Amino acid sequence: MTSTTTSTTTSTTDAPARSFLLGLIGTDLSLSRTPPMHEAEGLAQGHPTVYRRIDVLTDRLKERTLEQLLSSALDLGFDGLNITHPFKREVVALLDEIDPVAARLGSVNTVAIRDGRTVGYNTDVTGYARGLSEQLPDVAKRSVVQVGAGGVGNAIAFALAEAGVEQLQIRDVDASRAAELAENLNTATGTSIATGGGTEGVEDAIAAADGVVNATPLGMLSHPGTSFDTSCLTPGHWVSDVVYMPVSTQLLQEARAVGCRTLDGTHMAVYQAVDAFGHFTGLAADAERMRATFQSLG
């Protein structure tokens, strides 16, 4: 009786693609376009990506501290977290390492998690700076007025200083908040670039300036209007708005009608995500692809 030996070949398959788990910690996150931008970009590069909204106003999280949320993210294997209101300053003291720009600013909106260590960055600063340099590369920056000193205004002021603005007037309905931001900026930059005050007479200040930035919520669909009377604008001004819903705010429409060069809020919104994706994954994001995702969200 003859026995037959059958030879078998074991097939090998490629290892599964590296996946990423990301999150956003803050309040009132339902309208954020950041999660789908990251998920779409990760998938486009062949890396399944899940991005979770971690809203501390929800019943299951409202009793959790920021430190507890960071600890849970580490335990669960998150690769990175975006940080938004009201935690951008609080998170600084909880991190293992902080990028020099974020350290000088005292504010972090991006936390990369690498080998169990947390590293903080501020991509609001780098995102706004990139949009300004690409869209308005040659505008005069001798004197700029920034209206709004809360939240995102902190990053905008620092980015303007880094971009070479010589004199920055920060105005806010809360004059003390504007003065505090100006003092913090001067300390961080080692200069006397900034002054702060209320909104009284802001139109006169804008009329004498090269450019103006709206860093307030005014112009959003839920907060219509402008943060100053745009009749002070001339064709020689450049105008920037951080609001991106709608893209063409009332301020930008009125500025363009006068003949001003403008910078809309989508550039900062997209580029902060582009920079954050790089920190989270170590991969270079395709900015135009992320912009396309952003725009597809309505």
| Contact partners, residue 45, CB within 8 Å, separation at least 6 | 283
Q: Are residues 93 and 113 in the same domain?
A: yes
Q: Are residues 74 and 48 in the same domain?
A: yes
* 112/70 Cα distance (integer angstroms): 11
Q: Are residues 243 and 283 in the same domain?
A: no
pLDDT confidence of residue 14: 62
Q: Are residues 90 and 166 in the same domain?
A: no
Q: Does 12 reside within a domain?
A: no
Q: Does 9 reside within a domain?
A: no
| Distance, C-alpha 220 to centroid of its chain | 17
DSSP-assigned beta bridge partners for residue 145 = 169, 212
pLDDT confidence of residue 151: 78
Q: Does 290 reside within a domain?
A: yes
Q: Does 10 reside within a domain?
A: no
Helices and strands, counts by H and E, the chain: 10, 12
Where in the sequence is the domain holding 99, given as residue range(s)?
20-121+268-296
pLDDT digits (tens, 9 = 90+) for 192-208: 999 999 999 999 999 99
DSSP-assigned beta bridge partners for residue 20 = 49
Q: Of the residues 25, 49, 88, 122, which is catalytic?
A: 88
CATH code for the domain of 228: 3.40.50.720
* 274/276 Cα distance (integer angstroms): 6
- Numbered residues of the known binding site for shikimate: 32-34, 84, 109, 124, 244, 272
Question: Is 141 tagged catalytic?
Answer: no
Q: Are residues 135 and 260 in the same domain?
A: yes
pLDDT confidence of residue 296: 95
Average pLDDT of every residue of the chain? 94
Q: Are residues 142 and 244 in the same domain?
A: yes
Q: Are residues 148 and 241 in the same domain?
A: yes
Extract the tokens encoding 61. 């999280």
Q: Where are the beta strands (DSSP E) in the chain?
A: 20-26, 49-55, 80-83, 97-98, 110-114, 117-121, 143-147, 167-171, 194-197, 211-214, 238-241, 261-263
Percentage of residues in the chain with pLDDT exceeding 90? Answer: 90
Cβ-contact 137, 113 below 8 angstroms: no
Residue 294, class by beta-carbon neighbours within 10 Å (0-12 exposed, 13-18 middle, 19+ buried)? buried
The total number of structural domains in the chain stands at: 2
| Reported confidence tier of residue 17, pLDDT bands at 50, 70, 90 | confident
| Contact partners, residue 270, CB within 8 Å, separation at least 6 | 37, 127, 287, 290, 291, 294
- Numbered residues of the known binding site for NADP(+): 148-152, 242, 265
